[in-house]
Copies of this chain bind each other. A is one copy, B any other.
Amino acid sequence: MEMNLNEKIIAMARDARHSARALRNAKRHKKDKALGFMADAILSRKNEIIKINTKDVSLARQNGLNHAMLDRLTLTEKTISSMVDGLREIAALPDPIGEVPGMWMRPNGLQVGRVRVPLGVIGFIYESRPNVTVDAAALCLKSGNAVLLKGGSEAINSNLILNEILNEAMEEANLPGKSIQVIPSTEHESVGLLLRMDDYVDVIIPRGGEELIRFVNENSRIPVLKHFKGVCHVYVDKYADLNMAQNICFNAKVQRPGVCNAMETMLVHEDIALSFLPGMVKVFQDAGVEIRACGNTLKIIPDLTPARDSDWPAEFLDLVLAVKTVRNMDDALNHIDEYGSNHTESIVTTNYDRAKEFLERVDASAVLVNASTRFNDGFELGLGAEIGINTSKLHAYGPMGLKELTTTKFIIFGTGQIRQ
C-alpha cells in the first residue's frame, strides 16, 4: 500500500533519528572519508548532475521564475567545483565533537566537565540553490548530526540526484546513508508536516526569504534558529576617518546589496555631515544607489528623496539606502535599538572610547569597528563554514558553523559520591 505524505515523512524522520544514534559517535576519519567520497563522486558524475539540473532550470523558466532565482538554481562546472572545494574544506576542519574545554573539581571530589556532542536530527528548510544541499549535508555530517533537507520545489531533481550521490558516499564509508535525506516532495504541505516531527527532530534551521521564515516560525513545534531579516547600519561617527568611512559604507551597501548583511541605513553624526555627505552621496548615486534622506540630511542635500517612516525598518535588499543625520551617538544607538534587527551593526571612528561604547551598547549578533557589515559571515569570521545566521539569541547568536551544530553534555567522574 502506498504511504501518504505524512506517513512518508514520519518514516524518514524515524530513519533520521535512528541514523543519528549511529552517527553520534562516528570517528573523525570515517566522516572525513565520506566527505572525500562525496567530492570524488560529484566530480566524476558532474555531467549527469548538470544534465538533470538543466531539467529543473528549463521547467523553472517555463514557470516564469525571475532571473535572480534562475541564476541561483543553475549548476555549472564552476558551482560544482566550488561545491567540491567546500566538501574538502569541511573535511579539513577539526572535528568539533569530543572537545572538552575544561574540567573542574567539586569539594566532594567529583570531577565535572562538559563535552561537545551533536544536536541529533536537524531539519533544514531552504530555497532554490541546490549547492546548499551539499553544504548543509556536509556540515551536519561533520558535526555528527542527521539531517532532513527540504529544498525549493524548483530544485527537486537536482537535489534528488545529489542526495543519491551523498547516500552512496556515506555507505561507502560505512556510515548510515539515511543520515542525509532530501524530502522527495514538491508539495508545500511537506514543510508543515516536517515542522510537527518534534518527536524526532531536535532543531529547525530555515534559510530563505522573510515570508518562508515567518511561516516556519509560526508553525513549528520544534525550536527554530533563524533571523527574519537584516536591517544593518553603519554609524559614521564625528571622529571617523572620512575616507575609510566612504570605503566601508560603499562596500556595505554596493558590493552585494541582496544579502542580509548589507547596509540598509547609514547614520551620520551631524558634526561631520557637511564634509562627509555630499561626496558620499555622489559616489552612491554614481553606482545607481537611490538615497532616501531624513530632514536634516535634506538640509545639506535638498534634492534627495525624503525618507518615509517605513524606510527606517526596511530591508531593501537592493540599491536603495536610507540616510539619517544624528545629533550624537546616543541618537544613533537609540535608532539602532528601535529599527535594527539584532543582525549586524558597524561604527566608523578613530576614538577609542566611542568604539568601546558602541561595541558594548549595541545588541546585535555582530558589532564591528571600522569594517564593513559584509563581514558577518561564518567563513569571513573564521568559523570555516556556515549553515545560517541566528538572531534568536538562543544557542548561538550570529553565524553558525560546525560548533554551533553541536551542544555540550556534562560528564562527571565520581568515586562513589552520594548526595547528602
Spell out A's residues near B (CB within 8 Å): 21, 24-25, 104, 106, 110, 112, 115, 117, 119-120, 202-203, 217-218, 221, 223-225, 241, 244, 247-248, 250-252, 255-256, 337, 355, 359-361, 363-372, 374-376, 380-382, 392-399, 407-419
Contacts of A248 in B (CB 8 A): 416, 418
Give the distance in Å from the alpha carbon of A255 to the alpha carbon of B418 in the complex: 9
- Whether B361 pairs with A416 at a CB distance below 8 angstroms is no
A203 with B394: CB separation less than 8 A: yes
Report Cα–Cα, A369/B418, bound state, in Å.
Answer: 12
Q: Indicate if the CB atoms of A419 and B106 lie closer than 8 Å.
A: no
Mostly helix, strand, loop or mixed at chain A's interface?
mixed
Task: Let me know if A106 and B380 touch, CB within 8 A.
Answer: yes
Contact B416 A398 (CB under 8 A): no
| Complex: chain B residue closest to A365, CB-CB | B409
- CB nearest neighbor in B for A368: B412
Contact B251 A419 (CB under 8 A): yes
Complex CA–CA separation, A381 to B221 (angstroms)? 31
**Which residues of B sit under 8 angstroms from A415, Cβ to Cβ?**
370-371
A221 to chain B: which residues have CB within 8 Å? 217-218
Q: Which residues of B contact A407 (CB under 8 A)?
A: 393-397
Instruction: Collect the chain B residues with CB atoms within 8 Å of residue A394's CB.
Output: 119, 202-203, 223, 225, 394-395, 407
Number of identical monomers bound together in the oligomeric complex: 2
Q: Are A106 and B382 in contact (CB under 8 A)?
A: yes
Q: Which residues of B contact A398 (CB under 8 A)?
A: 409-410
A120 closest partner in B (C-beta): B393
Given the contacts A106-B382, A110-B375, A244-B416, A410 and B367 also touching, CB distance less than 8 Å: yes
In angstroms, Cα B112 to Cα A106, docked, is 33
Cα A210 to Cα B278 in complex, Å, equals 63
Asked if B418 and A381 make an inter-chain contact with CB atoms under 8 angstroms apart, the answer reads no
Once the chains bind, are B337 and A414 in contact (CB under 8 Å)? no
**Interchain CB contact (< 8 A) of A414 among B369, B393, B395:** B369
A418 and B380 contact, CB distance less than 8 A: no
Q: Are B203 and A393 in contact (CB under 8 A)?
A: yes
- Interface contact A374-B410, CB-CB below 8 Å: no
- Structural contact, A202 and B393, CB atoms closer than 8 A: yes
Q: How far is the CA of A418 from the CA of B382 in the complex (A)?
A: 16
**In whole Å, how far is A213's beta carbon from the nearest beta carbon of chain B?**
13
Residue of B whose beta carbon sits closest to that of A249: B418
If A112-B382, A410-B365 touch, whether A371 touches B416 (CB-CB below 8 Å) is yes
Distance in angstroms from A96 CB to nearest chain B CB is 14
**By the criterion CB–CB under 8 Å, are A397 and B408 in contact?**
yes
- Cβ of A369: which chain B residues have Cβ within 8 Å of it? 412-414
Nearest 10 Cβ contacts at the A-B interface: A371-B414, A251-B418, A374-B419, A366-B410, A370-B414, A368-B412, A244-B416, A394-B395, A371-B417, A397-B407
B112 A411 Cβ-Cβ under 8 A: no
Contact for A411 among B119, B202, B359, B392, CB less than 8 A: B359
In the complex formed, the residue of B with least CB distance to A119 is: B393
Nearest neighbor of A415 in chain B, beta-carbon distance: B370
- In angstroms, Cα B106 to Cα A375, docked, is 11
> Which residues of B sit under 8 angstroms from A119, Cβ to Cβ?
393-394
Smallest CB–CB gap between A388 and chain B, Å?
A: 14
Quick one: which of B21, B202, B244, B418 contacts A247, CB cutoff 8 A?
B418
CB distance from A368 to the nearest CB of B (A): 4
Contact indicator A241/B416 (Cβ below 8 Å)? yes
Contact present for A395 and B397 (CB under 8 Å): no
Q: Which residues of B contact A255 (CB under 8 A)?
A: 418-419
With a 10 A CB-CB cut-off, give which of A382, A407, A412, A415 has the most chain B CB atoms: A412
14 additional A-B pairs beyond A112-B382, A371-B413, A381-B410, beta carbons within 8 Å, are A106-B382, A120-B393, A247-B418, A255-B419, A365-B410, A366-B412, A369-B413, A372-B414, A375-B414, A375-B417, A393-B407, A394-B394, A394-B407, A396-B408
